């Protein structure tokens, strides 16, 4: 632990705050978190939270989800502008227009959406529970899946479904190309290849497993392999290396970096604890509408 990390831990304990962090944040930030996880695990932690203050080390939609599930807590973000590029690809006005034109469709939204988008949909999913929830929803009503066209297409392929897909994606994962996979396979021929479900279907077809970030931890736990190729944001390599110090993890080149996740630093986490964080505040009406599809997700998963 360095001096700033020690100061964070001391202040956090004095304030009785909880630090939740996504698996993609910088190693130094993962080290001072009370809990590191994927979107689904972080939602569950927020729901069970009893601390007065949550410092959320991740992107804004994750902080909003924590606030929606733990409305009595103060949820603070260390970086004001840590957004999610995919969440920004859903314009609420366009969703309203879609709904007006497709009144029979069920709207299923990836949790990587703003509270405004959540307020307009029927149910949310994360990459960790999407398959289970979409299967449960069945095919009684046509479905529009938003905003990740890749996750949606991967689900359609796996489940033999024909959900409509919103034109959105995660640019960090979308840019993984077959030649990058080929190079990683050639460099590490004995390593199974895990990719995130936000990758394009042609990349998923080349992988040994397509998973959420928590799914990757479970995959490694069950595997006898000693080394793995990790097709997701580079923060996950540190998370896996800490959980499995006796295994080796290799990223995809060029390195996959979510610039927004990297906006969370030890310095701004400390600032947050010193009263200079950015509190998540939402209109009560918006909160009531946006929490509904998240609660539905937790019931179904």
**Interface ranges with ligand SF4 (CB under 6 A):** 59, 84-86, 112, 170, 172, 233, 258, 260-261
User: Which tokens is 59 given?
Assistant: 């992107």
Burial 272-292 (b: 16+ CB within 10 A, else e): bbeeebbebebeeebbebbbb
Q: CA-to-CA distance for 283 and 129, rounded, in angstroms?
A: 28
Instruction: Pick what 129 binds: ligand SF4, ligand 13P, none; C-beta below 5 to 8 Å, kind-dependent.
Output: none
Which residues, 6 or more positions from 62, have their beta carbon under 8 angstroms from its beta carbon?
Answer: 22, 39, 42, 56
For the bound state, the minimum distance from the C-beta of residue 38 to ligand 13P, rounded and expressed in Å, comes to 3
The interaxial angle of helices 39-47 and 284-300, nearest 10 deg, is 110
- Residue 205: phi and psi, rounded to 5, are -65, -25
Instruction: Pick what 64 binds: ligand SF4, ligand 13P, none; C-beta below 5 to 8 Å, kind-dependent.
Output: none
Q: CA-to-CA distance for 4 and 284, rounded, in angstroms?
A: 36
Instruction: Pick the closer one to ligand 13P by CB: 215 or 277.
Output: 215
Instruction: Pick what 127 binds: ligand SF4, ligand 13P, none; C-beta below 5 to 8 Å, kind-dependent.
Output: ligand 13P
Is residue 65 at the binding interface for ligand 13P, with CB under 6 A as the rule?
no
| H/E stretch holding 96 | helix 92-101
Helix (H, G, I), strand (E, B) or coil at 281: coil
Burial 5-30 (b: 16+ CB within 10 A, else e): bebbbeebeeeebbbbbbbbbbebbb
Q: CA-to-CA distance for 22 and 177, rounded, in angstroms?
A: 25
Please provide the size of the chain in residues. Answer: 301
Instruction: Pick the closer one to ligand 13P by CB: 49 or 213.
Output: 213
Instruction: Pick the closer one to ligand SF4 by CB: 49 or 212.
Output: 212
Within positions 147 to 206, which residues make up the interface with ligand 13P, using CB under 6 A?
A: 170, 196, 198
Is residue 39 at the binding interface for ligand 13P, with CB under 6 A as the rule?
yes
Instruction: Pick the closer one to ligand 13P by CB: 30 or 270.
Output: 30
Within positions 110 to 149, which residues make up the interface with ligand 13P, using CB under 6 A?
A: 112, 126-128
Q: CA-to-CA distance for 180 and 203, rounded, in angstroms?
A: 10
> Using CB under 6 A, which of 17, 20, 23, 53 touches ligand 13P?
23
DSSP 230: E
Instruction: Pick the closer one to ligand 13P by CB: 69 or 270.
Output: 69
Instruction: Pick what 260 binds: ligand 13P, ligand SF4, none; C-beta below 5 to 8 Å, kind-dependent.
Output: ligand SF4
Instruction: Pick the closer one to ligand SF4 by CB: 12 or 263.
Output: 263
For the bound state, the minimum distance from the C-beta of residue 127 to ligand 13P, rounded and expressed in Å, comes to 4
Instruction: Pick what 85 binds: ligand 13P, ligand SF4, none; C-beta below 5 to 8 Å, kind-dependent.
Output: ligand SF4
- For residues 140 and 114, the answer to whether their CB atoms sit within 8 Å is no
Binding mask 207-246 for ligand 13P (x = CB under 6 A): -----xx---------------------------------
User: Which tokens is 108 given?
Assistant: 């299923």
Binding site for ligand 13P (CB under 6 A): 23, 38-39, 112, 126-128, 170, 196, 198, 212-213
């Amino acid at each position: 632990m360095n001096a700033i990390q020690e100061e964070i831990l001391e202040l956090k304990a004095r304030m009785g705050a909880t630090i939740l962090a996504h698996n993609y944040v910088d190693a130094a930030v993962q080290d001072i978190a009370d809990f590191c996880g994927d979107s689904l695990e972080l939602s569950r932690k927020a729901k069970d939270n009893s601390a007065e203050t949550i410092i959320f080390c991740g992107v804004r939609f994750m902080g909003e989800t924590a606030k929606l599930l733990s409305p009595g807590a103060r949820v603070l973000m260390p970086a004001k502008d840590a957004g999610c590029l995919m969440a920004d690809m859903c314009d609420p006005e366009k969703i309203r227009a879609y709904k007006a034109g497709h009144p029979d469709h069920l709207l299923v939204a990836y949790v990587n959406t703003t509270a405004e988008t959540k307020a307009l949909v029927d149910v949310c999913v994360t990459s960790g529970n999407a398959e289970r929830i979409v299967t449960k929803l069945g095919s009684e009503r046509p479905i529009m899946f938003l905003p990740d066209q890749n996750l949606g297409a991967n689900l359609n392929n796996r489940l033999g479904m024909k959900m409509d897909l919103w034109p959105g994606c995660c640019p960090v994962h979308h840019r993984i190309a077959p030649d990058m996979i080929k190079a990683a396979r050639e460099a590490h021929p004995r390593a199974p290849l895990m990719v995130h479900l936000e990758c394009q279907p042609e990349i998923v077809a080349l992988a040994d497993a397509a998973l959420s970030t928590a799914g990757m931890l479970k995959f490694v736990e069950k595997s006898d392999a000693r080394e793995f190729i990790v097709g997701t944001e580079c923060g996950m390599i540190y998370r896996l290396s800490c959980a499995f110090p006796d295994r080796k993890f290799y990223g995809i080149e060029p390195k996959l970096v979510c610039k927004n996740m990297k906006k969370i630093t030890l310095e701004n986490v400390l600032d947050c604890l010193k009263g200079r964080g950015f509190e998540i505040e939402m209109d009560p009406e918006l909160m009531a509408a946006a929490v509904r599809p998240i609660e539905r997700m937790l019931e179904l998963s």
